[in-house]
Structure 1
Amino acid sequence: MDFKIAKEMLKRILLVTFTAAVLACHAAPQPQQMVPGVSNIVPDEKQALVCKEIVGLIENYNYKKIQINDSISSLVLDKYIKDLDPSKSYFLASDIKDFEKFRYTLDDDFRIGNLNAPFYIFNVYLKRYNEWVNYSLAQIKVKQNFDQDETFVYDREKMPWSSSTAALNDSWKKKIKFELLNLKVAGTSEAKNVETLTKRYQVLKSQAAKANNQDVFQIIMDAFTETIDPHTNYFNPSNAQAFNEEMARSFEGIGAKLQVENEVLKISEIIPGGPAFKSKKLNAGDRIVGVAQATGDFEDIIGWRIENSIAKIKGPKGTKVRLKIIPAGKELSSKPVIIELTREKIIMEEQSAQKKVKTITSNGQQYKIGIITVPAFYADFKAAKAGDPNYKSTTRDVRLLIDTLKNKDKVDAIVMDLRSNGGGSLVEAIDLTGLFIDKGPVVQVKDLKNNIEVDEDTNPGVAWNGPFGVLVNRLSASASEIFAGAIQDYGRGIIMGTQTYGKGTVQSSIDMNQLVNPSILQRLAALVNKKGVAVKSGKEDNMQLGQINLTMAKFYRVNGSSTQHKGVMPDIEFPSAILLDKIGEDTEPSALPWDEIQKSNYVPVADLGPLKQQLIGLHKERMSKSLDYKILQDDIADFKNRENEVSVSLNETKLKAERDSIEAKNLVRTNTLRTSRGLPPVKKGDKIAKEDNFDFVEDESLKVMADLMQLKK
């Protein structure tokens, strides 16, 4: 996330020559402890260098001003083990005891780039993983008795580590029995179930065999950085590219979504307008078995990891790629069709802001309300920097949608749907707020030196000055909370939904290659080259070091309250289908606390306080009579009850009875709602009709907006 705050600090970071980086190329390598019975994965020099630099960045520039010490080392070890084996299904108690020798040494190791300990732990995990997968493959063939009164404990998080292989074998035996029973209850034959499950575990084994040191390093760094705070994250080169494409809502390639199925890369969707779509030669279901660049030789990609295959297919716009295709429905042994495509820039429209219009009747009065759904605060910074006048951004997209809603659709009000919008660009949050307020401060940002910067909307005028509402939920975070908080503080609109996530920290994206002295990178490249890997320069893919999103500051609303930890509280509160005590910043052990600073100099647009109380009263009155509301509360209660379940029956009769009971209860609820809407009931096994996909929360938000317009009259 390219946040403008902390840019001066970022400049200072980038000007620093990290002389300690030289040690990565010259320090004597530590001997790697090998795990017998597995192909050991080992760290490389690049990862050692990155690890050291991340320690320096965290200690010098993270907002927490934290030192990496024995206490942090202990927390990192626990988190790393939990990340690898959260359900305690692989490691034995003896393994955990063995790992104790690393409890207070990881801090010292990371400081010098020694990654041998966490790689050793991963190799033990890989060995155990393969052992249990092999055991499972053997168990699949065993004849099962589903008449016994047994249970399978699937949630082992709070249980002790298994003391022996035999004890863990028993758990895996029951897991296989449950999976076979699950398939049997679904109505398929025993032979088919054995075949299905065998293929599933063979794929798991195959995928484990493809694990590389980049995968391991990513897991290690995740455990390390998230121990410091939940939003300081390192991205290896391929993940960094994916993150930046997500922010830009665009990428350069052929315009197809891909997935791996039975070791073969398959096209799952053709993106409208892209090269694959225009060629009319590719279809969903086609399989790609070979890739060549322009006039280069083909590479057989069957069995490749999906990210490696995609890296070959993607590329700069204007370049050519050739694909060997086995059309959908044909055997893999068929002669492949060769297709040449010219790569283009692909815009992911379905992940951009979109609109719809709904009409609602309240007290005999009809209102047209526009709903703008914003999935993230995105911006194509690369295109903007290059001077592209049509670069992709949330604010630009929303402005166009507002123009259409206002001038063509003639709406009476607008609701901005930010549910499950996890945030994104701070600049976009400020600019988007500016579409609804004339001018003024939007957010305050405090850096690690306690300097406070007030970021303002400086553009006069508004895109929409009519009735306005914002819909949020527990997964609305970061930039969403800045926007919702500003709209609430200015009295510009009504906030509806649930308490938001509470992510009020600022991250700056730092390219790790920019931190390293070029001469160090050249030495590192030469060292890698000696090992037989072709390296031309520090800019080549195999010399990319990835990026880190470093927490360097904290958000505050214009009223002085931090959005951190507490989030934004809605004016009109709806029940939450997402458990507030399970998800949110206040559930993160390493999260920064809430606090407040002086409010900024802003002038509210209106005082909605008196109206809010009336709106709450009308909302509660509706809810007391609402069948949808009652059923939603019942669903939430059922979900909370299921959250406490840790085991399942392995008796076919009992399991089927439990499933039938749940299915019957759901069918009654569905038909009760359908009847209330004048729709015919459905029977067991019927496909759920489109009319049943009713968004109660959205519908109630429109009724609140209708109340607002009537009260204002």
Structure 2
Amino acid sequence: MTKFGFIDRIAPLLTRLRRGAGASMLALAATVLVLTALPAGNAPANTDPQGSMSIEKKHMFVARLIRNYMERRHYVKMPIDDDLSVRVLNRYVETLDPERMYFLQQDVSKFDEIRYEFDEFIEQSRLEPAFAIFLVYRTRVRNQVDTALTLIDKPFDFTRDEYFDVDREDEPWAKTQDELDELWRKRVKNDLLGLIISGKQEDEARETLKKRYTQMRHRTEQLNANDVFQFYTNAYLLSVEPHTSYLSPRASENFRIRMSLSLEGIGAVLQSENEYTKVTRVVTGGPADMSGELRAGDRIVGVGQGDAGEITDVIGWRLDDVVELIRGPKGSVVQLRVLPEKAVAGGDTHVISIMRDKINLEEQAAKKSLFEFEHAERTYKLGVIDVPTFYADFEGRSHGDPEYRSTTKDVRELINELKNDGIDALIVDLRGNGGGALSEAISLTGLFIESGPIVQVRDTSGRVRVNVDPDPSVSYTGPLAVMVDRNSASASEIFAGAIQDYQRGLVIGEPTFGKGTVQNLVPLGQHSRTDVDLGQLKLTVAQFFRVNGDSTQHRGVVPDILFPIAMDSDQEGERSYDNALPWSRIPAADYEPQYTLGDSALLAELARRFDDRKDESDGLRYLREAEEFTASSQQVEQLSLNLETRKRQLEQRRERSTAIENELRRSRGLPPIEKVSDNDLITESDPTSDGDDGEFPPDVLLEEAGHILADLISLKDHATRLAHTGTDDTVEARN
């Protein structure tokens, strides 16, 4: 490895630090790093950072543990080399400054002098360079927050035509301090403009921003050595594969709470995205789900306590702090100020109130519904079983409790009830089902096939284990469809893939998420002789493969009938993750398709009929336009800083939203509405939302799936008649 002058200059300090010189030497090392990264005469006034932190022995111990686990037990055997070194540095810098609003180009250039050294740092469990880079970041945050606070008190010309870059992730780093300050001038102006448009008076908006930026600095100051260690360690782990990560003791506790549901909240999975807290999933049966007002993709920009408490601006907050604000006692109310997924940054926000509670497990259970519809002059009765997750009461089952709940047990009972209702066909609805118990995906598949392998699992050593359905009994033999979408993942993909491989039923919808790997949670404290909490390692240890040999990883399950709302599926789910494992295949398991649904001519005819119908479907047209509307919001690269221009653009979006909504209402014989806000327009990700008209908007996709199944029944009936009579009435069957 080539040694660079930059690291040589701080190497003696780092060596002394490793020998236990402590926090003061780390601060000095950071000072040298800062001074070498800044131009002469531009060193920050505060180069001896307050709250300097020391690397503890436990951090180096955990670093060694993680390296060993990655080398010996991770599913991907990635060499620790120069290529990985560059990726780790880049990801670490991006983790600290994803929008490139703090570091200067000269900072990054100095960091690049050691870009080929991080493989050695990992091998040797050396953490000092990562900590030193963080202290440069902390100093830059202080400087830019000071700049922002100064700018807030200055007047802004909102009649001037200029623009703010919304997404700077791929923009070049600012070359000079003046250039960086100009970026911040536009940012402050944009933030102020957004608050004014949302209804705040200008003086109130300025005070809100002062609090926001002051909190931003405070939260950065509060980051400790455990936080920095987690940032850096995950930069390494996520450079290998996106589902392996280190959870610090604090993050581990939050993870435990979320998994055990031991503390009341709203029932939503959140993540940080730039400076927003984004809702990635609304948990079925949780308070947010029951309210119907919070949706995946929405961004939480403020949190308040009680029905009338002051709402605290949380833009730029760390995720843990936002979560702590949202959690609270059961029965208490939390207010959320939400920027909808469909709104552009700085667009309309609205406030929703949710009563905190535990997740209602009953609401997570499988449910049935029954609806009748007309198709080709015949009335069909369709049974639908919605499976939000794959669940099982393992403790109740092991204790022999006859009342224990599981997905398979519940669905079997629901099928029997629907058969008694005289259904013509059945849909298993897995839209939004992110997975759950693997054993339940296997046993649920067994309700529809006689027996055989369901999924193959390849472990770190390359050994393949085949999981089979041991029960030859079948609960339902009639026409079957499985509905999936971009959020159907893991166990859902195993079930849908097996149904498709056995040609037992149609898979309808969008390409699924593509989560085809298995993770174990490793408590690292088990390797310590003390009681110190060392956090946990979430480690990828295996990969799922379908019985036909295809992986569900990355590609997911591609439906037999693809709904035309699946726009940009390459940017959804696993396919959107950096360093995601690619699709692959292994030899097929020993299985035989037990049915004839995979007949290419039959599938082609079903697809042809759907194609003929979809262009005339008002519902599908509505969902396509809603998807395009949402995509247009997410693709906005610049925002006008002219007040009147900004207002006009927002009004145009509201008018377009209203037009899309009213187009569907007219097709359903409902009166038009005057205006909708951003959060009133549904999209394909939430097609079942109820409006003011009972069942409006309808579940368009479920309706279309029903028509596809009706076509299947019609074609099967035609084939049966042809086999018995020898008469080809294909033309009649198509009408």
TM-score class, shorter-chain normalisation, is 0.7 to 0.9
Q: Does structure 1 residue 222 correspond to structure 2 residue 234?
A: yes
Contact 2:166 2:636 survives alignment (8 Å): no
Contact 1:469 1:494 survives alignment (8 Å): yes
**What is the Cα-based RMSD across aligned positions, in Å?**
3.8
CA 1:644 to 1:617, structure 2 compared with 1: closer, same or farther past 3 Å? same
Counterpart position of 1:679:
670
In the aligned structure 2, how far is the partner of 1:623 from the partner of 1:664?
26
In the aligned structure 2, how far is the partner of 1:394 from the partner of 1:557?
21
Deviation at 1:161, TM superposition (A): 0.5
Superimposed CA distance per residue, residues 302-339 of structure 1 (whole angstroms, 9 cap, x where no aligned partner): xx95777999x8xxxxxxxxx8999999xxxxxxxxxx
Superimposed CA distance per residue, residues 495-554 of structure 1 (whole angstroms, 9 cap, x where no aligned partner): 01122233322323333233x1xxxx23xx3xxxxxxxxxxxx2xxxx233332322222
1:252 maps to which of 259, 262, 275: 262
Q: Does structure 1 residue 200 correspond to structure 2 residue 189?
A: no
Deviation at 1:468, TM superposition (A): 2.0
In the aligned structure 1, how far is the partner of 2:401 from the partner of 2:211?
48
Q: Does structure 1 residue 555 correspond to structure 2 residue 544?
A: yes
In the aligned structure 2, how far is the partner of 1:381 from the partner of 1:133?
51
Q: Does structure 1 residue 166 correspond to structure 2 residue 166?
A: no
Counterpart position of 2:517:
505
In the aligned structure 1, how far is the partner of 2:368 from the partner of 2:218?
43
Q: Does structure 1 residue 105 correspond to structure 2 residue 117?
A: yes
Counterpart position of 1:363:
376
In the aligned structure 1, how far is the partner of 2:612 from the partner of 2:116?
58
In the aligned structure 1, how far is the partner of 2:371 from the partner of 2:252?
39
Counterpart position of 1:285:
306
2:159 maps to which of 147, 168, 182: 147
Contact 2:372 2:382 survives alignment (8 Å): yes
CA 1:242 to 1:428, structure 2 compared with 1: closer, same or farther past 3 Å? farther
Map 1:426-465 onto structure 2 (within 5 A).
426-465=438-477
In the aligned structure 1, how far is the partner of 2:113 from the partner of 2:465?
46
Counterpart position of 1:703:
707
In the aligned structure 1, how far is the partner of 2:206 from the partner of 2:676?
25
CA 1:682 to 1:256, structure 2 compared with 1: closer, same or farther past 3 Å? closer
Deviation at 1:348, TM superposition (A): 4.2
Contact 1:259 1:306 survives alignment (8 Å): no
- DSSP-derived class of the 2:481 partner: strand
CA 1:176 to 1:351, structure 2 compared with 1: closer, same or farther past 3 Å? farther
- DSSP-derived class of the 2:507 partner: strand
Q: Does structure 1 residue 421 correspond to structure 2 residue 410?
A: no
CA 1:186 to 1:584, structure 2 compared with 1: closer, same or farther past 3 Å? closer
Counterpart position of 2:568:
579
Superimposed CA distance per residue, residues 245-294 of structure 1 (whole angstroms, 9 cap, x where no aligned partner): 655xx43356887999xxxxxxxx9x999xxxxxxxxx982899xxxxxx
Counterpart position of 1:665:
656
CA 1:198 to 1:700, structure 2 compared with 1: closer, same or farther past 3 Å? farther
CA 1:470 to 1:690, structure 2 compared with 1: closer, same or farther past 3 Å? farther
Contact 1:287 1:326 survives alignment (8 Å): no
Contact 1:48 1:112 survives alignment (8 Å): no
Contact 2:516 2:544 survives alignment (8 Å): yes
Counterpart position of 1:66:
78
Q: Does structure 1 residue 374 correspond to structure 2 residue 387?
A: yes
In the aligned structure 2, how far is the partner of 1:678 from the partner of 1:77?
58
Q: Does structure 1 residue 607 correspond to structure 2 residue 619?
A: no
Query: Percent identity, aligned pairs only?
Result: 38
Counterpart position of 1:632:
623
Deviation at 1:699, TM superposition (A): 2.6
Contact 2:365 2:388 survives alignment (8 Å): yes
Counterpart position of 1:117:
129
Contact 1:414 1:467 survives alignment (8 Å): yes
In the aligned structure 1, how far is the partner of 2:330 from the partner of 2:519?
42
Contact 2:368 2:385 survives alignment (8 Å): yes
In the aligned structure 1, how far is the partner of 2:397 from the partner of 2:524?
22
Map 1:492-571 onto structure 2 (within 5 A).
492-514=504-526, 516=527, 521-522=528-529, 525=530, 538=531, 543-571=532-560
In the aligned structure 2, how far is the partner of 1:78 from the partner of 1:606?
51
Deviation at 1:220, TM superposition (A): 2.3
Deviation at 1:470, TM superposition (A): 1.3
CA 1:476 to 1:77, structure 2 compared with 1: closer, same or farther past 3 Å? same
2:646 maps to which of 649, 655, 658: 655
In the aligned structure 2, how far is the partner of 1:677 from the partner of 1:326?
39
Deviation at 1:102, TM superposition (A): 3.7
Deviation at 1:397, TM superposition (A): 4.7
Contact 2:330 2:358 survives alignment (8 Å): no
Q: Please, what TM-score do these two structures have when normalized by structure 2?
A: 0.73
Deviation at 1:621, TM superposition (A): 1.3
In the aligned structure 2, how far is the partner of 1:325 from the partner of 1:626?
43
Deviation at 1:50, TM superposition (A): 2.0
Q: Does structure 1 residue 595 correspond to structure 2 residue 584?
A: yes
Superimposed CA distance per residue, residues 146-189 of structure 1 (whole angstroms, 9 cap, x where no aligned partner): 11111111211222111122211211211121222223334443
- DSSP-derived class of the 1:496 partner: strand
Superimposed CA distance per residue, residues 587-630 of structure 1 (whole angstroms, 9 cap, x where no aligned partner): 44423333322221223231112432222122111112123333
The residue identity in structure 2 corresponding to 1:681 is: P
Q: Does structure 1 residue 622 correspond to structure 2 residue 606?
A: no
The residue identity in structure 2 corresponding to 1:648 is: L
Contact 1:287 1:328 survives alignment (8 Å): no
The residue identity in structure 2 corresponding to 1:703 is: H
* Unaligned ranges ≥5, structure 2: 1-16, 32-47, 271-282, 288-303, 310-319, 336-356, 681-690, 718-735
- DSSP-derived class of the 1:581 partner: helix
- Between the two structures, name the one with larger relative contact order (CA 8 Å, sep ≥ 6): 1
Counterpart position of 2:34:
none
Contact 1:253 1:346 survives alignment (8 Å): no
Contact 1:482 1:557 survives alignment (8 Å): yes
The residue identity in structure 2 corresponding to 1:657 is: R
In the aligned structure 2, how far is the partner of 1:604 from the partner of 1:205?
61
1:48 maps to which of 31, 47, 60: 60
Contact 1:374 1:421 survives alignment (8 Å): yes
- DSSP-derived class of the 1:701 partner: helix
Superimposed CA distance per residue, residues 373-424 of structure 1 (whole angstroms, 9 cap, x where no aligned partner): 33444456677678877666544454454455445x6544332222333334
Contact 1:443 1:456 survives alignment (8 Å): yes
Q: How many residues are matched? A: 606
The residue identity in structure 2 corresponding to 1:559 is: N
- DSSP-derived class of the 2:262 partner: strand
Superimposed CA distance per residue, residues 659-685 of structure 1 (whole angstroms, 9 cap, x where no aligned partner): 222221221121111111111011125
In the aligned structure 2, how far is the partner of 1:327 from the partner of 1:676?
39
CA 1:699 to 1:125, structure 2 compared with 1: closer, same or farther past 3 Å? farther
Deviation at 1:48, TM superposition (A): 2.3
In the aligned structure 1, how far is the partner of 2:53 from the partner of 2:566?
42
In the aligned structure 2, how far is the partner of 1:466 from the partner of 1:598?
30
- DSSP-derived class of the 1:228 partner: coil
In the aligned structure 2, how far is the partner of 1:666 from the partner of 1:101?
50
Contact 1:286 1:325 survives alignment (8 Å): no
Stretch of structure 1 that moved more, 621-630 or 188-197: 188-197
